[in-house]
Amino acid sequence: MSTVHHYRSNLRDTRFNLFEFLRIDERVLGRGAYASLDAETVWESLRQHERTCTEDLAPSFAATDREPPVQSPEGAAMLPAALVRSMDAYYEGGWHLFEVPQHLGGVGAPPSVIWAAFEAVAGSNPAAAFYLFGNFMGRVIDRLGTPSQRARYLPQMIHRKWGAAMVLTEPDAGSDVGAGRTSAKHLHDDVWEISGTKRFITNGDFEPSENIVHLVLARPEGAEGGTKGLSMFIVPKFWVNEDGSLGERNGWRCTKLEKKMGLKASATCEITYGGDVPARGLLVGEVHDGIRQMFHVIENARMAVGMKSMSTLSTAYLNALAYAKDRVQGPALERAMEKTSPRVAIIEHADVRRMLMLQKSHAEGMRALALFVASLQDDIELAGGHGEDKALDRLNDLMLPLVKGFCSDRGYEVLGSSLQTYGGAGYVMDFPIEQYIRDQKVDSVYEGTTHIQSLDLFFRKVARDGGQTLQALCARIAETAHGTEGGDDLAAERAALATALEDLTSIYTSMLGKVGESVQHVGMQGNRILLATADVVIAWLLVRHAAVALAKRPAATGDDAAFYDGKVASARFYCREVLAGVTAARALVERSSLDLLALSADAF
């Protein structure tokens, strides 16, 4: 099989989520900022967008892994011609304007539609997805910048296809952002001089791009230590004059390109600010509030990483499914002892079916989780933006570590079943699965490791508001678990959900007690808590999906009938096979031990 057109989308499930379950045609489209959008227009746009991703972005997926960017004498990553062609086609189709607000000349689609479209980009060519980051950074400057800064950088960033990067990590600090030593010296007005070195900067410098805009965290001279002392600065590759025109080369350079196990087409850079030529930047909004400002970028990036993992698992599953239907090997197990028994397609083997349903239920569950969170963002925007509806904001914040942490961590695990479906053929480059695994593994590492997500979930999202947001979410889940949704057909699934919800509640109750003994218990059990929480939320969503499918199944025919049967099967498998892990997690959390912390390092 050629990996040129490796990408297999699941537009049918996307449509189910958006229009049959979330019902954005009734709740979102035609309202507020989305008054000019209707269901037919949005759906046709998503179909055409998927075609562009499949036909234009996917062909450079494998080619740029085999021939990744190289560093030019000036330091920039020189993008492979195949990737440049892919991105040019995407821009020529105007798809970069999908997420851009109408006042900046874009379509202004709602978050649920933007993220549904992003799935196709990230699934077809994840490296390209991050080179298209300039649009989002433009939206951040539009939101946080001064009128002068907005006029200076917009709409050039969007309509001239400028690149952009978020710049946090430093060689010595790593994930401890507050330990960063990059400094900022005030020159005049909102202009500052930036000095220091940053590492692991995704797409920090690449050609061909007219300009690249960095949003940099740096510490002004005399500012306090830790994250509170950081400010955020707009630091372009080429200085942008007050009238928006390009000026001289600014004083930063890419001093190293990392050599990586995967996602090779995405240039991971070391950036040095200052030296022979000063690196100038603008203080964002003229407000020393860097970490809070940067979280607008971080939260978007974490959502994007979770979506990327989900989309990779989804296309991996669909590729494995196609292989299983085509590959003939071995007789049916009940006839294995008969010498003349016919060989069957491997999808007829029980273990292969188990692995396929494991992949299917997780891919659909992750999509349900991500698009449910995206629909919360729809509601936030319709309510007037972040800060206007505190309950919506808190629920969105609670769910983000689940999207990022669960999808990236469990996604890598389940991708192993995708490879296993192929047998030995999955281990060679004839099929895309080996690259999927290499490209996806970074998702559980960057934008905050899985454990950072788990600490964020427990301490910032649950404990900080006394568990109110989690309790409100659990109350919604309980309504389904103890209700009649899906009738008798889903009674067993609702019962399993009720048990898992009880176990999850006990997990949090037990951990709150253990925190009184030592916060290190969260260190030991945090990842387990995050995964269990996500499992319960996903099971809840899949049960509700199955109820919708059961209601529609009697009138369905052909592919639709099979699709609805599959939705019910996903919910049943997840509730039966996956939710049992929440009960196991409860037992492990309840007997959490700190013995390992007392063990000498020499004993490891």
Predicted confidence (pLDDT) per residue in 305-351, tens digit:
999 999 999 999 999 999 999 999 999 888 888 888 999 999 999 99
Pull the structure tokens for residue 591. 């007997």
The domain ranges of the chain are 11-142, 153-288, 451-596
pLDDT at 4: 55
pTM, two decimal places: 0.96
Could you read off the pLDDT of 500-513 as tens digits, one per residue? 999 999 999 999 99
Please report how many Cα atoms fall inside a 13 Å half-sphere around the Cα of residue 436, on the Cβ side. Answer: 37
CATH number belonging to domain 153-288:
2.40.110.10
pLDDT at 388: 79
Tell me how many degrees the CA angle 561-564-569 measures, rounded to the nearest 5: 125
Say if residues 154 and 104 touch (Cβ distance below 8 Å): yes
For the segment 218-269, what is each residue's pLDDT rounded down to a tens digit?
999 999 999 999 999 999 999 999 999 999 999 999 999 999 999 999 999 9
Question: Pick from 301, 269, 215: which is nearest to 69 by CA?
Answer: 269
CATH number corresponding to 11-142: 1.10.540.10
CA distances from 554 to 141, 201, 456, 471 (A): 50, 52, 44, 36
Mean pLDDT, residues 169-180 taken together:
87
CB 543 within 8 Å of CB 497: yes
Catalytic residue among 299, 447, 502, 517: 447
Structure tokens, 176: 């401890």
Q: What is the pLDDT of residues 341-370, one digit of tens each?
A: 999 999 999 999 999 999 999 999 999 999
Residues 523-561 have pLDDT tens digits of: 999 999 999 999 999 999 999 999 999 999 999 999 999
* Rounded Cα distance, 299 and 278, in Å: 31
Interval 380-405 mean pLDDT: 93
User: In terms of DSSP H, where are the helices of 105-237?
Assistant: 111-124, 126-131, 134-144, 147-153, 156-159
Tens of pLDDT along 74-112?
A: 999 999 999 999 999 999 999 999 999 999 999 999 999
Rounded CA gap, 234 and 290, in Å? 11
Does 11-142 match 153-288 in CATH topology?
A: no
Q: What does the pLDDT look like over 106-159, one tens digit per residue?
A: 999 999 999 999 999 999 999 999 999 889 999 999 999 999 999 999 989 999
**pLDDT tens-digit profile of 425-443?**
999 999 999 999 999 999 9
Mean per-residue pLDDT of the chain: 95
What 8-state DSSP symbol labels residue 69?
A: -
Specify the residue for token string 């188990």.
354
How far is it, in rounded angstroms, from Cα 529 to Cα 503? 11
**Backbone dihedral angles phi then psi of residue 509, each to the nearest 5 degrees:** -60, -45
Q: What is the band of 1 on the pLDDT scale with cuts at 50, 70, 90? A: very low
CA proximity to 6, closest of 66, 47, 59, 81: 59
The C-alpha atoms of residue 107 and residue 135 are separated, in whole angstroms, by 12
Closest CA to 447 of 313, 300, 312: 300
How many whole angstroms separate alpha carbon 529 and alpha carbon 585? 8
Burial zone of 345 (CB within 10 Å; 0-12 exposed, 13-18 middle, 19+ buried): middle
Rounded to whole angstroms, the Cα distance separating 395 from 501 reads 18
Residues 6+ apart with CB under 8 A from 444: 405, 408, 409, 412, 450
Are 110 and 29 a contacting pair, CB within 8 Å? yes
- DSSP three-state, residue 531: helix
Q: DSSP labels for 170-207?
A: -TTTTT-GGG---EEEEEETTEEEEEEEEEEEET-SEE
Phi, psi (degrees; rounded to nearest 5) at 476:
-65, -40
Contact by Cβ (8 Å): 130, 183: no
Rg of the chain (C-alpha set): 25
447 is catalytic: yes
Whether residue 3 is predicted with pLDDT greater than 60 in this model: the reply is: no
Q: How far apart are CA 317 and CA 321, in angstroms?
A: 6
> Among 98, 100, 112, 107, which residue's Cα sits nearest to residue 24?
112
Q: What is the DSSP letter of 20?
A: I
What is the C-alpha to C-alpha distance for residues 442 and 202, in angstroms, rounded to an integer?
12
Q: Higher-confidence residue: 385 or 597?
A: 597
